[in-house]
Amino acid sequence: MARQQNQSDFKSGSELASNEISDQIRLLELELDRLKLAQTGGKSAPPAVPVLPETEILSLDLKLQRQVLMLMEAMPHMVWISDSEGRATHANNRFYEFTGLGRQVDDGWAWVNVLHPDDLQEALERGNEAALQNQSFSMELRCKNLKGEYYWHLMHSIPFHDPDTNSTKWFGTTVNIHQQKLAQEHLAASEEQLRTLSDAIPHIVFSTDPDGSVLHWNHRFFEYSGLTPEQSQTDAWSLLVHPQDRAPYMKQLQEVLKTGDTFEIEFRLKRAVGVTNASSQGYLWHLARAVAQRDQYGTIIRWFGTWTEIEGQKRSRSEKSPE
């Protein structure tokens, strides 16, 4: 449990969707590289992974650009080519279908009216910065459809050299990620509700990743331990466990992390303030319990646990036990 973060213990499931989108972008880049090899008479097959450094600019002659345009029309996403000034020199049919704009009236700047006003300035700044550095760039932004509704998209653009005009142009894709964004926002709202609930209960609540590294403590932990959120970025929590209980606690924890069984153990935990019983030396008995959260395939994705004070129960049992 070497790594701890006093941050949200819940991670967005949108990472998978983003990876799928990135894979589609990589396939486009691979196809461009394959076309380049074919044009230059390259005999070696393109590698299985993208080989386009951020600062390397492809050179696409007119014939090769026509092949790219054909590829663009086959894509289910909005795909476009722009010049170094930002003017779109070509957009596929998907762009006009989504926006409802007519190709014949597009002077190359129609995309300016498509972007959400709050995203336009950032897009311009990011585009200018990428142009100065001859680097690809990506950003999430909102695009307006033919009904005037805005949908979140992921835009990715890479530079290439046009030998016909001896200038740098940009090849870009704009992929609809609206459902992923809505799911992410819904998940964030649910996470906030769960964090609020965990702070409202009188027990210490925590969560860890599959290997046991703590992701989150509730507010009760900081009240009890006296540690700051910054101090809790380390594994200092283990030092709060009574020295005689620390080894058994960690041993059983490591066992359940391997088996996935429910974790349950009684141990003594040091409290920073509020302990008047000198004989306890600041340690109070607690019951630790944690259960695994699994995905649809049965793989553990997170552990949720509580530390509940049982000092009164332990003392009562001790007083009732025969001498």
pLDDT score recorded for residue 196: 77
For residue 128, what are its two tokens?
């200018």
| 160 CB-contact burial (10 Å; exposed 0-12 / middle 13-18 / buried 19+) | buried
Rounded Cα–Cα distance for residues 265 and 106 (Å): 69
Please, what is the Cα angle at 312 between 308 and 318, to 5 degrees? 120
DSSP category for residue 115: B
Rounded Cα–Cα distance for residues 145 and 101 (Å): 9
For residue 177, what are its two tokens?
């990620």
Residue 41's region, left for phi above 0, alpha for psi from -120 to 50, else beta, is left
What is the distance in angstroms between the CA of the first residue and the CA of the last residue of the chain? 40
Which amino acid appears at position 38 of this protein? Answer: A
Mean pLDDT calculated for residue range 21-43: 52
Does 256 have pLDDT greater than 90? yes
Higher pLDDT, 255 or 55: 255
Give the SS3 label for residue 219.
Answer: helix
pLDDT score recorded for residue 6: 42
pTM: 0.49
Rounded Cα–Cα distance for residues 109 and 87 (Å): 6
Domains defined for the chain, CATH in brackets: 14-181 (3.30.450.20), 201-320 (3.30.450.20)
CB 150 within 8 A of CB 163: no
**Could you report the per-residue pLDDT of 52-76, keeping only the tens digit for each?**
334 445 555 666 667 766 777 777 8
CB 292 within 8 A of CB 307: no
**Could you report the per-residue pLDDT of 260-284, keeping only the tens digit for each?**
999 999 999 998 765 445 445 689 9
| 228 CB-contact burial (10 Å; exposed 0-12 / middle 13-18 / buried 19+) | exposed
**Could you report the per-residue pLDDT of 119-137, keeping only the tens digit for each?**
999 999 988 888 888 888 8
**Could you report the per-residue pLDDT of 150-161, keeping only the tens digit for each?**
999 999 998 887
DSSP category for residue 1: -
